[in-house]
Structure 1
Amino acid sequence: MSDSGKPSAETLLAHDEARNPNGAVVPPIYQNSLFTFEGWDDIDKAFDERLDSFIYSRGKNPTVKLVEEKLAALCHGEKAQLFPSGMGAISAGIMHCVNSGDHIITIKNLYGPANNFIAAYLKPKFNVEVTYVSGKDIAEFENALQENTRLIYLESPSSAVFSLQDIEAVATLAKSRGIKTMIDNTWASPLFQKPLDMGIDLEMHSCSKYIGGHSDVVAGVLVGSKEDIDAITLREYEWIGAKMAPFEAWLLLRSLRTLPVRMKQHQENALAVAEFLESHPKVQLIRYPAAKSFDQRELAAKQMIGLTGLMGFQLKTEDLDKIKSFVNGLKYFHLGVSWGGHESLIYAPAISYLKELSPDQFAGLGISLGDMRISVGLENKEDLIGDLDKALELI
C-alpha cells in the first residue's frame, strides 16, 4: 500500500476491484458486438450515458473498459481510451489537439510513422505547420512558439538516438500559453515514468511493446483527463471507427498481471548488456540513459524511476559487409522491427530510414550505417552478452 492509501502497481495489476462472474480468477472475454436491453427506458438511458454504457462494441465493451481503468490508474490519469494500434492512439490524440492551420512543435528524432502523419498527412491536407527541435533545451521550445501553436508533441527518450526532453519544463511552458502537450511514453512504460504527474495532458503508449510484452497483440492507449479522453472517445475514436477488440484487450489484461516483474528483469538484463557494450573496443558509443557516457543521465534520474530494455549503440565501422556479418552472427537477438516483448531483438535503423529519407535527412538524424537498436529481452543476461560478444568478433 502506498502513502496515498492506494494499492501499489503490483497489487493494482494483480487484482480486479469487482468480483468476476462465478468467482472466476480471470475475467471473461465479452466477445460480442452488441448489448441488449429489457425495455425502451433502459436503452434510452444508456444513450443518455453512452460514454459509460454498453450498447455496441465499437463504443464501449466490458473487457476493454476493465483494461482502460487499470491503465488509467497505472498512469495516474483520470481516464484511458484503448485503440487497435499505437498509431491509432497517436493520430487520434494529435487530431484532438489541432485544427486546420494550427502549428505543432515536436522533436527531430520522432517515431517515423508519427512524423509521417504530421508532416506528410496533416501538413498538406490541413495546412498544419510543424517545427522540429532537438528537444534538449527548453529554450528551443520557447523560441519555436507561434501564435497558432496548439500542440507540443514529445517522445522521451526519442527514437533512434534516445535523447530526453525535460518533461516538466515543457509542460509548464505549454500551460502558461494554453497549449496542449502529448507524449509517447512507450519506452519508459507506465511503471518507470509518469508524465501526467509532470503536467502533460495526454500520455500515449504502444501497448504492443512492454504493456503487451508477449509479441502477440497490437494496440495503443491514450491516458489523460476525463474531459480530453471523453472528447476523443466521442469524436476521433468512434467516428474513425478505431475499435479495440475484446480479445486483444483480454490479452493486455493478462500481460498487465506480470508487467512489474517483467520490467524488473528487462532492467536488470539491459543494465548488464549496456555495461558490456560501453566497454567493448568495437563499439563506438552507446545510447542508453544509464550509460556512463550518456550526456543526459542527470535528467534521466530526475524524471524516470527505472530503465527499460531498449537501447542503441554504434559499431566502429561503416563497412556494410561487416555490419551484416555482425547482425547475421547473432543467435539470441533475432532481427526484426518492434520491441518490448519477452524476446531479444536487433534492428538497424538505417534499413528503413534509408528507404524513407534522403541521404541529407538521414545524416541529420545523427545516426549512421553502424547504428544498431536492440531490445533486451528476458533471457539469461550472460547468454545475451555472450551472443553479442561472439558476433562482435566478426567485425
Structure 2
Amino acid sequence: MDILQQFLDTTGFANMTWGNAGMILIGLVFISLAIIKDYEPLLLVPIGFGILIGNIPTTADMALGVYDVGGIVVEEGQLLTERLDEGGNAIPDGGSAETVGERVKYNPGSVLSYIYFGVSQGIFPPLIFLGIGAMTDFSTMLSNPKLVLLGAAAQMGIFLTLIGALYLGFRPDQAGAIGIIGGADGPTAIFLASKLAPNLLGAIAIAAYSYMALVPVIQPPIMKLLTTREERLIHMKPPRHVSRREKIIFPIAAFLICTMIAPGSIVLIGMLFLGNLLKESTVTERLANSARTAMIDIVTILLGFSVGASTDASRFLTRDSLMIFGLGALSFAIATASGVLFAKFMNLFLTHKINPLVGAAGVSAVPDSARVVQMVGQKEDPHNFLLMHAMAPNVAGVIGSAVAAGVLWSVLGN
C-alpha cells in the first residue's frame, strides 16, 4: 500500500493545478485553430503540443522540464552554473569543476532544457532568418522603393507599445522586449527578449506567435475601418522587372547600411541577407534549398515546441504575462493602422496612387499579412491583384523590425 500511495503521489493527476489545466486547454485551442482554421499550423501545432508537455506536473526530483538546467551541485539543493575554485567559490575568469574535488557533482539537466537553450540564448531566431532570406524575393520592393516607407511606418507599433509598457511599470529593457511584438515577427521577438528580458521570454514569444497566427482575424476590421471603398478599389501599376545584378547587389548593400545604423542587428540582418544572397547568386542553390526547406523546418519545430514547453502555469500565468498579451494586441493594431494611414498620407503627394490596404502588410508576418491584403482587396474587386505589391512592405517590415530590435538592444541592453 505504501508503494501504491507513492505511485499515486507521483502522477500528474495528484499534482495538477487549475493553472496547469487552463494552460492545457489553451494548448488544445492552439492545436484546434491550426487544424480546423488553418491559422499558422506550422507554428501553432508545435507550440500547442509544447504547451501540453510543459504543463504536465512532475515531481521535484525528476529533471524533465525546460527550467531543469544543468550545473554544479555544491550542496544538497544548491545549484550553481559558475565555475568554482577549490574552496567552492565562483570565479569569473576560468577554472574547472574538477579542481573542486569530491564535493562537486555535475547535474546534466533535462533534455527539454537543452532544446530550450536554442531559444534562451537566441540561437534559433537567426537560423529562422537564414531560411526566410533564402525564401524571400525582394524584387517587388526594389521595383517600387517608396513602398519601403510603409514597412517603416508599421514599426510605429513597436515604439508606441514601448511607451505603454513603461507607463505600466515595466523596466526600460523589459519594455523594449515587449514593444517588439508590434513588429509581428516571432523570431525577432524571441531574440530580443532573450537579450533584454529573459524572465519574460515565454510570454513574449507566445504573444508574438499568437498574434501572427491571428493576422486574418485582427487585420481586416482595422483595414476596412480606416479605408473607403473607393480607396480599396485602387489598382496599382504592375512592378517593373528587376535585373539579376540588382538582386545580388541589394543584400550586400542593405546589410552594410542596416548594420552600420544598428550594429545590434548584425546577427539577424546578417543571416537574412546571407540567405537571400545564397538564393539570388544562383551558384549556391544547394545551400539555399537546404536553408529554406529542411533547416528552417527543423528549427521551426524545435523553436515552437520548446517555446510552448516553457509555459509552465506557475511561471506563465502572472500579471505581467496578462499585461504583455494586452500590449501585444494593442501593438499589432497600432502597427496595422500606422501602415494604412501612412499609405493614405503618401497618396496626397503621389500621381500614381497606392492602395492603402497595402500599408497593412508593413508588419513582418510574412507572407500572411500580404495574403490578407490580397483577400480584402479581392472582396471589393476580384480583378484587383495586390499580393505582389503587398510583399514589398511585408519584406521591408522584416528588415525594419530586425533593425528596430538592434537599436533597442544597443540602447537598452547596457
With normalisation by structure 1, the TM-score equals 0.23
More relative contact order, 1 or 2 (CA 8 Å, 6+ apart): 2
Give the number of the structure whose residues are more often strand, by fraction.
1
